Amino acid sequence: NAGVMQNPRHLVRRRGQEARLRCSPMKGHSHVYWYRQLPEEGLKFMVYLQKENIIDESGMPKERFSAEFPKEGPSILRIQQVVRGDSAAYFCASSWQGTNTEAFFGQGTRLTVV
């Protein structure tokens, strides 16, 4: 049973470009969570999705950031017109139930904006 798969592991983008981060949850998991870790900080919640629905996006910046979890395929975190402050590690977690007590994390995508 493969774990949570995130790709790419490392992503370099120039300022103004778009970044797309992918997350394939564990088999049988229909709940996905995205977290961001800025340098020297803890992980911060961004968004919680269940298949085709955004349940809680209270941690998402209001502009440039969006997330989806289509019926088929991985969850995507999309950052438009990236800025240097978007440089961080982005982690995805998945769970079978809609609580985070049993969530499993992926290895993360490290985004660097140059």
Strand partners, 7: 22
Q: What is the closest distance, in whole angstroms, from the C-beta atom of residue 105 to other proteins in the complex?
A: 4
The backbone torsions φ and ψ at residue 60, rounded to the nearest 5 degrees and listed phi first, read: -85, 135
Q: Which of residues 8-67 bind other proteins (CB under 8 A)?
A: 31, 33, 35, 40-45, 48, 55-56, 58-59
Residues 106 and 93 sit within 8 Å (Cβ to Cβ) = yes
Task: Give the residue with the Cβ less far from other proteins, 19 or 23.
Answer: 23
d(CA 90, CA 109): 5
Residue 77 or 93: which CB sits closer to other proteins? 93
Please give the size of the binding site for other proteins, defined by CB under 8 A.
30
Question: Among residues 4, 21, 82, 111, which is the contact residue for other proteins, using CB under 8 A?
Answer: 4
| Run of H or E including 36 | strand 31-37
| Contacts for 90 with CB less than 8 Å, ≥ 6 apart | 6, 21, 34, 35, 36, 37, 77, 108, 109, 110, 111
Binding marks (x or -) toward other proteins, 72..111, rule CB under 8 A?
-------------------x-x----xxxxxxxxxxx-x-
- For other proteins, the binding residues (CB under 8 A) are 4, 6, 31, 33, 35, 40-45, 48, 55-56, 58-59, 91, 93, 98-108, 110
